[in-house]
Amino acid sequence: MKEASFYEKCEDGKIRCLLCKQHCIIAAEKRGLCGVRENRDGILYTLVYELPCTTHIDPIEKKPLFHFFPGSRTFSIATVGCNFHCLHCQNHEISQAPLQQCSLTSDRVTASEIVSYALHAECKSISYTYTEPTIFYEYAFDIAKLAREKGLYNNFVTNGYIEDEPLRAIRPYLDAVNIDLKGFDESFYKKVCKAELPKVIDTIRTYRALDIWIELTTLIIPGYNDDEETLRAIARFIVEELGPQVPWHVSAFYPTYKLTDVQRTNPKALARAREIGLEEGLRYVYEGNIPGSDGEHTYCYSCKKIVIKRHGYTITEYNIQNSSCVYCGAVIDGIGL
């Protein structure tokens, strides 16, 4: 085990964890809401340090990150646990494992080994993904720092609930983030995610203030967050507070975990969500989970021609040179284009 970062001691042997915005108060021999941070004799320990539950080599587009070294490979890593309990979690087998009394043990893999694997696989970056990277922060921090020293980039795929201090601490090694903005209604977040929307919004603003490349994803769930008012509110927030250059991925929902009584997202509804984002002034809006859609492509916001053509996670046409559209010269926003 490894002592955790960002906590304070309270009365009666309790500990307050300050890593994420849940601020769990943890009694002796108990764990926080994430299931992987435990109070032992007044010291908070992380139970997943150097214990990944999965690693994989992915296209960066799978994260999804479309404006961060498009077409590159990324080394993905996760441990069990999560600080959200979303009813529709697509990775619930690993994110909710600690709460289901599953074993936390796995083969130990050091930060140095992870970086070596990524380099050997000729990956451009390491992605902390699948579950919530905040809950394995100490492991992610050590990997990210070493990765930067070896010339690799780092990105988070996150629910946006990390506290400001740990985010600022890892900032020197963190290059990009895809944040799930799951809805824009407080009751939705409390009911579906067991979290609070204003805290997610605050974190997104902090990422922007720290000048980390941001892409946002909203899973469109029929009857929950697919009304036009909600979608326009999200798009306006992005434009007004983050900037029109921030890509927005609107992705199709499919029934899973505890939300199996809801229909899949209609492709027409997804196309309409994309239209709304563009109408509100966003430069790049993408349709996810529907391979072959015209909404997968990157269009130049100036001349409207396709500059990156995709099918699923595969790039089939690339019309960007020196970060600019080859047709009109407009600069296409992102990193490594």
pLDDT of residue 106: 72
pLDDT of residue 1: 82
110 and 210 in a common domain: yes
79 and 221 in a common domain: yes
Instruction: Please count the structural domains in the chain.
Output: 3
139 and 19 in a common domain: no
231 and 270 in a common domain: yes
139 and 35 in a common domain: no
173 and 117 in a common domain: yes
308 and 278 in a common domain: no
pLDDT in tens, 250-281: 999 999 999 999 999 999 999 999 999 999 99
pLDDT of residue 166: 98
Q: Which residues of the chain have pLDDT under 50?
A: none
pLDDT of residue 102: 56
pLDDT of residue 103: 59
60 and 30 in a common domain: no
139 and 263 in a common domain: yes
74 and 62 in a common domain: yes
> Structural domain of residue 183, as residue ranges?
54-295
Q: What is the pTM of this model?
A: 0.96
pLDDT of residue 97: 85
CATH number of 100's domain: 3.20.20.70
156 and 89 in a common domain: yes
205 and 186 in a common domain: yes
- State the Cα–Cα distance between residues 263 and 276, nearest whole angstrom: 22
